[in-house]
Every structure is written in structure tokens, then in C-alpha cells.
Amino acid sequence: MEKLHIDYAIFPDITMANKVKALLAFPKANNVKVFHQTRLKLISVKVNKGMSLSVRDLCSDMVNVAGIEREKVFFIPSDTEEIRQHSLVYFFGDVSAIEAIAQKIENAMPASIKKVVIFGANMQAQKIAKVLIEKDLEIKMIEKERRLCKDASAFLEGRVRIIHAAYDDHRLFEEEGIKYADMVIAAGQNDEKNIVKCVEAKEYGIPKVIAINNDKSYYDLMHKMGVVVVRGSKAGAHYAILEKISSSAIVTQRIFCGGWAVLFMRKVYRDSPLIGKQLTLIKVPSSDVLLIREERIYKMLEIHQIAENDIIVMFGTADAKDEMEAWIYAQ
């Protein structure tokens, strides 16, 4: 890329496949976001247990509630906000700490995944299968087009069982044993057909169902059905470009919750003018600021002086993006 004077390249299929791969390591998650500045992660978990817990009950120096999606609305909760059933809670923190919380609030997803079925054998489906092969899983791919079956077999070097299905209905789940899968991934090019496959998988009680989706308008529907949504190649490229535009050498932007929420992350390097100072008071509504020091999480006012290698993390709603960006760059 240097010879072509290209500064940044996006490989949407690979990015999308790695997002699916991340869900294997954390089966109870709806989404997992990683960052190069820290080992802490942003992980969303669907609440399907009735309980009497508040945000404060779930937060510590290892994990923080970064946001909640409830009834098609994303918001930054107060410490006293109740954790309600059917909400999607976004946790930022240590993976082990988030896993422990997930055990309390989620009991529908499998504890581990061994059997995976992928609907589709197009290039994005092939890339998903490619990254899953190394996880020692039993993988089946279902495809109607014989040409795509041959292409997938060659690309995957015969390491995945590829089924050429002449029909496309419920018989597949019975005759091919798909109903015994731990995870189904609908990875076709058509979002509507992916939704149909997800509905069928849910009807058979398959615990983890993933739809590769490019149309944001289907996001709410799939979440309501309990389907995990992973951005398809087109949507992934779109958001990757948006994130890159608002990122720089010192500030990283990430978009999450179907585009409703945004995160900014800034690491304090050795020559930063922030060292020894205190963060200015935040006046951006619908946002929250954390500070990471030695992989521990602190509230903004708990740190009186910024130190080298501290990481400032800001969460907020998408409509506050410009104000958030201005604040974090002004520090």
C-alpha cells in the first residue's frame, strides 16, 4: 500500500468474519468490540432474567455499564437505573468480570459453542467459515447454488462440510441435523432471506442465531426476535469509513448499537499536554466519561491528575457525537 500511497485500507469481509469469531469466545454476548489501546472490551449482553438490580450493583473498578438499549432507545443510565428484562446492556471492562455478570442476567445463550451451521457459501460466508475453522468446531455450510458450493470447498480446502441443498425450507433442519446446532449464522447476500432463516432457527430452539445484516432498518426487528446482528460487508465498510474520518493518531472513534451510540477513546502518551492536569467538566448531555489507569476503571472525578498511559473513554448517543468529539479533542 505504501507504493500506491494508500494510508488506510478496509477489508469488510475479514472484519465481519472476525466479529463473528469474537462471539465464540463470549457466547452470551450480542456484540464484542476490541481496542488497540487497552485489553478492556465493549460487550453487549441481552437481559432475559427478571431481577432487582441497578446499574450501581453491576459496576466496579473492573467493569462499567456504558449504555442501555431499551424499547428501541439507547441511553446512558444513571447509577440508580434499574436493569430490566429484555434490555440490551453495554458493558465496558474486563472480560472475566463481564462474563461473571452475564451469568447472572442471561441464561438463554449456550455456555460454549461446538456445532455451527452457516447458511450461504458466498464470499462473506466463506470468510466466516475460514476464521472459525481454527476453533476446532463442527461446521456445516448450506447453499443452493452448486457453483458457490464448489468455490467454498476449494477456498476452505475441504475442511468444512458443504451441503448443496436443492430445497430451502424446514426440511433442512430435520434432515441435515441443523436443529442440533449451537449456533446458526445466516450469511446470505439478501437481508430478508437471512431473517427468515433466523426465524426458522429460533423456532427450532437453536440458542445462538446470528444474522449478517446490511440494512439498518431491520436492526430493531432482529433484536426483538433475540437475533444477534453482525454488520455485513457493505454496512461494515460504511461504518469503518465513518469511524476512520472521526479518528486520529490520538483519538479513536467507534460506532455501536446499530449507529445509535458512539465511543471516543484517547490515550495519554508521554509528550501529552494533559499530563498533570485534570479533565475539564463535561457539559455534553447524554454522555459519560471514564478514565482507565493500569486496566482499572475510574469515574471522571475520581482522578485529580492525568498521568502517562491513562486512557480517556467517552460514551454517548449518536446525536451528541459532534459535541463529544469537540470535548475530547479540547482536553
Domains of the chain and CATH, by start = 20-105 (3.30.70.1450), 115-236 (3.40.50.720), 247-330 (3.30.70.1450)
Assigned C-alpha cell, 285: 448531555
Angle formed at CA 310 by CA 304 and CA 316, multiple of 5 degrees:
85
Q: CA-to-CA distance for 182 and 136, rounded, in angstroms?
A: 14
Residue 1 confidence (pLDDT): 47
Residue 8 confidence (pLDDT): 56
Q: CA-to-CA distance for 56 and 83, rounded, in angstroms?
A: 10
Q: Identify residue 148 by its one-letter amino acid code.
A: L
Residue 44 confidence (pLDDT): 95
Do 328 and 287 contact (CB within 8 A), yes or no?
no
Residue 167 confidence (pLDDT): 63
Residue 98 confidence (pLDDT): 96
Q: CA-to-CA distance for 37 and 309, rounded, in angstroms?
A: 9
Nearest C-alpha neighbor of 184 from the set 275, 176, 53? 176
Look up the pTM and report it: 0.87
- Kindly give the pairing relationship between strand 138-143 and strand 115-119: parallel
Alpha carbon 205 to chain centroid, angstroms: 23
φ, ψ for residue 222 (rounded to 5)? -70, -40
Alpha carbon 33 to chain centroid, angstroms: 5
Give per-residue burial for 198-221: e unless 16+ CB within 10 Å, then b.
bebbeeeebbbbbbbbbeeebbee
Residue 7 confidence (pLDDT): 54
Tens digit of each residue's pLDDT, the chain (331 residues): 456 555 556 677 778 888 888 888 888 999 999 999 999 999 999 998 777 899 999 999 999 999 999 988 999 999 999 999 989 999 999 999 999 999 999 888 887 899 999 999 999 999 999 999 988 899 999 999 999 999 999 999 999 999 998 666 677 888 888 889 999 999 988 989 999 999 999 999 998 999 998 887 888 788 778 888 888 777 776 677 777 776 777 899 999 998 899 999 999 999 899 999 988 888 888 899 999 999 999 998 888 899 999 999 999 999 999 999 999 998 8
Query: How many other C-beta atoms lie within 10 A of the C-beta of residue 141?
Result: 27
Assigned C-alpha cell, 271: 509528550
Helices (H) and strands (E) in the chain — how many of each?
Answer: 10, 16
Assigned C-alpha cell, 205: 430452539
- Kindly give the pairing relationship between strand 88-93 and strand 161-164: unpaired
Q: CA-to-CA distance for 63 and 79, rounded, in angstroms?
A: 13
Alpha helices in the chain (DSSP H): 12-25, 55-58, 95-105, 123-133, 146-155, 171-175, 191-203, 219-224, 233-245, 321-330
Placement of cell 461494515 in the chain: 236
Q: CA-to-CA distance for 295 and 34, rounded, in angstroms?
A: 14
Do 83 and 51 contact (CB within 8 A), yes or no?
yes
Q: CA-to-CA distance for 69 and 89, rounded, in angstroms?
A: 6
